[in-house]
Amino acid sequence: MHPAVQPRAWLSPEAKTGKGLLYVSSYNSNFVSIYKQKGTNQSPIGTITAGLSGPEGMAVDRKLNLYVANTSNNTVTVYPPGQTSPSTTYSQSLSEPAGVAVGTDGTVYVENLGNSIVEYPAGSTSPSHVISATFPIDAALDSSNNLYVTYDFCCVEKFAPGSTTGTDLGIVLSANGGIQIDGSNNVVVANQVNTPMIEVFPPGQTSPSQVFGQEGDPNPIRFDHKAKHLYVGEPTSSTVNVYAYPSGTKVNTITSGVDFPAGVALSPESKY
């Protein structure tokens, strides 16, 4: 899609359900495309444009609300299922927000590029904690609501629920991108440069047990509900690749309606 063209906001009947969907944010053109998860090189079945400005990381909560981090206007906008206009906007303590994650308890975590991680209690747009951090990129939660954060050219930290002090897991990549946690608490991270790939780290390990997706520029990553597929945004080629998990076999590539995909999200999100 040409970056100068912003599509109108629209939703097909399938998109209005909020279930079985893939969301892809197009940073260059300020829109989010909506797809069915099932299919091959699917075309969008809906588009969101309202409230978006440099959309990057995204997340879906247990009520199927979509959260979008807008780097250019310092907000996180929230879209209920079947809606193309935001119902809630987070702005307090946000500065170039790039990543967002939502815990099973409804706590919202936002990663500000360059300086902090902001934590909002469930149902509140006022932060309870602001954690000083250097260039946090993305975050994910495990089933116990432990928070895992990737940092550019650095490391991965784990925060216990409610903690403002993280534990360095000793995982060092060339340039960390998106992060996910699978049902066995393996840490799955996108490595963006040198040899781009997806790397899988077992709990307590600093060497990967598996690598796959050695192509392009993998950055945002998200599991589907049962962590049977990993969706990987490739910004430089404007594609989303889909890999069977844990085999790492590529099963789909989506190009229609994608322009520099800086965020992906699945509805429902991974149960892990």
For 200-227, the pLDDT digits (tens) are 999 999 999 999 999 888 999 999 999 9
Domain presence at residue 222: yes
Domain presence at residue 86: yes
Which residue range(s) make up the domain with 182? 10-267
Domain presence at residue 30: yes
Domain presence at residue 104: yes
**pLDDT for the residue 151:** 94
Closest CA to 265 of 33, 1, 8, 39: 33
Tell me which H or E stretch contains 15. Answer: helix 13-16
**CA–CA distances in Å: residue 56 to residues 29, 59, 159:** 11, 10, 23
**pLDDT for the residue 5:** 55
Tens-place pLDDT, residues 1-20: 444 456 889 999 999 999 99
C-alpha angle 56/60/257, rounded to 5°?
50
Domain presence at residue 253: yes
**CATH number of the domain bearing residue 194:** 2.120.10.30
CA distance 133 to 143: 24
**pLDDT for the residue 6:** 66
Domain presence at residue 1: no
Q: Can you say whether residue 105 is alpha, beta or left, with left for phi > 0 and alpha for psi between -120 and 50 degrees?
A: alpha
CA distance 86 to 32: 13
Domain presence at residue 56: yes
135: amino acid identity, one letter: F
| Radius of gyration (C-alpha) of the chain in whole angstroms | 17
Count up the domains in the chain and report the number: 1
CA distance 146 to 161: 5
The ranges of the chain with pLDDT < 50 are 1-4
Domain presence at residue 187: yes
